[in-house]
Amino acid sequence: MNGPYAVVLRYRARQPLSAPVPEAVHAAFLGMVRRADPALAATLHSPQHRFRPYTLALLGPRGGLELRLRLSVLAPDLFREFWRRWERRGGFALRLGRTWLSPAAVQKSGPWCGEIPWPRFWELPPVRRVCLAFATPTTFRQGDVDLPLPLPKLLFAGLLAKWNAASSRPLSLDPELFSRFLALTEGRVRIQSVWDGRATIRGFVGVVEFRLKRDAPKEVGQALALLSAFAFFAGAGRHTTHGFGLVRFLHAS
């Protein structure tokens, strides 16, 4: 794979599961990676990464015998050996608390799966309007507080920073341009509170539309298209390895 991708890891338990908190799911995933590929686990924990090169989210319904983990990868090279070992072993078990779950399948198609090669992002035509759906609580850090609001600069400046950290072809754009030329024109959102196992985190969920002003430079429209598509893999805001900030691109024009 030559670009970011997303798959769903499906696991089966022998007895019904209670709904796990995000911190427990994240710890279980890292434990599985540590057993499968210690070098990858060490890299994922490295303080050199300003942004984690993956996101992780627990997909519903929760409870029952099946657990579905949506994994998106922003650095495919880091995970190549992990997947080789996964294929040789037929997957790796997941330990969630005291419960062991068996790997059932790696789902590569579906609404939360997909991949885009890096060059294809640059082939996207500039847009003036995008509509995004935020499926899980999304929040941004501003100063010392979390801000659970879909403000254009916070969203797209964050995506720009993640893109430049992940891609070999950085996007040269002043983040302040999103404040000057991009407006939130429609939104149907609500605030949700989630206990992640350590603290209560508040974020917004819902559908939001952003539109460029008439005098916006063409390069801002190009960046808007590219980053909106990238958001599906990178997630938005904070705690994206704990299931927050799961984004779906709906449409653009």
Among candidate residues 94, 114, 134, the one where a domain is terminated: 114
Together in a domain, 233 and 130: yes
pLDDT given for residue 62 in this prediction: 65
Q: What pLDDT score does 61 carry?
A: 61
Residue 163 contacts residue 227 (beta carbons within 8 Å)? yes
Question: Cβ neighbours of residue 88 under 8 Å, at least 6 residues apart?
Answer: none
Which residue in this structure is represented by tokens 């992780």? Answer: 56
We report the CATH number of the domain holding residue 207 as 3.30.70.1900
Whole-prediction pTM? 0.95
Q: At which residue do the structure tokens 């994240």 appear?
A: 26
What pLDDT shows up at residue 19?
81
Hey, what are 159's tokens? Answer: 């995506």
* Residues 139 and 169 reside in one and the same domain: yes
Domain boundary among 88, 114, 140: 114
Terminal Cα-to-Cα distance of the chain (whole angstroms): 28
Whether residues 208 and 226 fall in one domain: yes
Number of domains in the chain: 2
- 140 bridge partner residues: 147
Residue 149 and residue 71 share a domain: no
**Residue 169, SS3?**
coil
Burial of 93: CB neighbours in 10 Å, binned 0-12, 13-18, 19+: middle
DSSP 132-151: EEEEEEE-EEETTEEE-S--
Same domain, 150 and 80: no
pLDDT by residue for the chain (253 residues), tens digit each? 689 999 999 999 988 888 889 999 999 999 999 999 999 999 988 777 778 999 999 997 666 889 999 999 999 999 999 999 999 999 999 999 889 999 999 999 999 999 999 999 999 999 999 999 999 999 998 877 889 999 999 999 999 999 999 999 999 999 999 999 999 999 999 999 998 888 899 999 999 999 999 999 999 999 999 999 999 999 999 999 999 999 999 999 8
Q: Which domain range does residue 88 map to? A: 5-114
Please tell me whether residues 137 and 221 are part of one structural domain. yes
Q: CA dihedral defined by 134, 136, 141, 146, rounded to 10 degrees?
A: 120
Domain boundary, last residue among 83, 114, 145: 114
Write phi, then psi, for 104 (nearest 5 degrees): -105, -40
Q: Are residues 98 and 149 in the same domain?
A: no
Q: 88 and 122 share a domain?
A: no
**CATH number of residue 100's parent domain:** 3.30.70.1890
